[in-house]
Amino acid sequence: MNLDNLARIDLNLLVILQVLLEEQSVTRAANRLHLSQSALSKSLNRLRDTLDDPLFQRTAHGLKPTAHAVALAQKLPGVLQHLYQLTQPPTFNPNSSHRQFSFSMVESAYETLIPYFIGPLLSNAPHLKLDSYLWTEKSMQDLLQGQIDFGIAGRDIHPQSNFRVEKLPEGLEHKTLFNDFQVCLVRKGHPILTQVTMGQWTQQQYLDMPHVQVRCEGNDWWALDYHLASMNLHRNICTTVPDFYGAASICAHSELIFTLPSSFARHAQQLYALEEIPLPMAFTPMTYVLLWHERNNQEPGHKWMREMIVDSAAKATTKRQS
């Protein structure tokens, strides 16, 4: 596209050309456009110079379009419609939209949010296409570059993480979805359950136990591990796996203990013979947040999607608390 050449064209002439093609009469076109015949004739001459074609020939029955004008008549209505749409405020109709949206989400949030999100979403917007990806160390950059539309991640996954709410890259926006806290899972019948029942569940016992850990953002440590390291303490992590389901399965069939967000722990207990026990130490709660780029703040489709996600998170939180 040669923008320099396009800048020299008066786009109002395209409107005049369309009316002339429809009316095929200078008089009728002038009346319709509220112009004098003289002014319209001058505009027609400018069109002829711009397009290097006579465009019309005068006949006893009015204006007869040239072959080039006939060809333009096939394209011009669509071009003018697009130009008109560019001048209108953006709109979004969920019921008829065929938009595509992409998400990057931490695994622990999938079972918490997706069941409450997908049903209402597709009921209101049956033609939307959704692409979902796991949150990785590259997801933040994908948000900045517009490769994905939304991110759902946990705040302060670890101090070296490229995601911390107070240090988000310029241009990213966020909204808190819900708060969560860490709990522990062990298999049913695990020996440590006796100590827990007797009130003898201690931090040292927790540290000495063998742990299964989920790798997050390509990192083997969580915020809890950095917190412990600041006190010169360390967990006995003997197995690291890439996903929560794998960790829950290992936990259910071994003596390993699994530390994880409480929201996913409830789901894991529905799948495996697991018992939930408290984390035997004080630790800061975690927060799940919705992320997007500020370029989409006022875009109707993005606003609608954000409202749907926030609403689904609120419903999920209410159900967990009931």
Percent of the chain with pLDDT over 70: 93
pLDDT at 41: 93
Please report which confidence band the pLDDT of residue 122 belongs to, taking 50, 70 and 90 as the band edges.
confident
Please report which confidence band the pLDDT of residue 82 belongs to, taking 50, 70 and 90 as the band edges.
confident
pLDDT at 256: 98
pLDDT at 87: 77
**Mean pLDDT for the chain?**
88
Instruction: Tell me how far CA of residue 293 lies from CA of 125, 174, 309, in angstroms.
Output: 22, 9, 15
Q: Which residues pair with 291 in a beta bridge?
A: 151, 174
CA atoms of 187 and 271, how far apart (whole Å): 12
Q: 92-96, 161-165, 226-230, 257-261 — which is least confidently predicted? A: 161-165
pLDDT in tens, 211-269: 999 988 778 888 899 889 999 999 999 999 999 999 999 999 999 999 999 989 988 99
pLDDT at 292: 95
Q: Looking up tokens 């003289």, which residue turns up? A: 38
Listed residue (164, 259, 278) closest to 221, CA to CA = 259
In contact, 192 and 205? CB cutoff 8 Å = yes
Percent of the chain with pLDDT over 90: 58
pLDDT > 50? residue 157: no
Please report which confidence band the pLDDT of residue 156 belongs to, taking 50, 70 and 90 as the band edges.
low
Q: Which domains does the chain have, with CATH numbers?
A: 3-86 (1.10.10.10), 100-180+287-321 (3.40.190.10), 182-284 (3.40.190.10)
SS (H, E, C) 91-136: CCCCCCCCCEEEEEECHHHHHHHHHHHHHHHHHHCCCCEEEEEECC
CA atoms of 276 and 186, how far apart (whole Å): 7
pLDDT at 21: 93
Please report which confidence band the pLDDT of residue 170 belongs to, taking 50, 70 and 90 as the band edges.
confident
pLDDT in tens, 263-316: 899 889 999 999 999 999 998 888 889 999 999 998 999 999 999 989 888 877
pTM score, whole prediction = 0.67
Helix (H) or strand (E) holding 258: strand 257-261
166: buried, middle or exposed (CB in 10 Å: 19+, 13-18, 0-12)?
exposed
CA atoms of 264 and 30, how far apart (whole Å): 70
Q: Are strands 236-241 and 100-105 parallel, antiparallel or unpaired?
A: unpaired
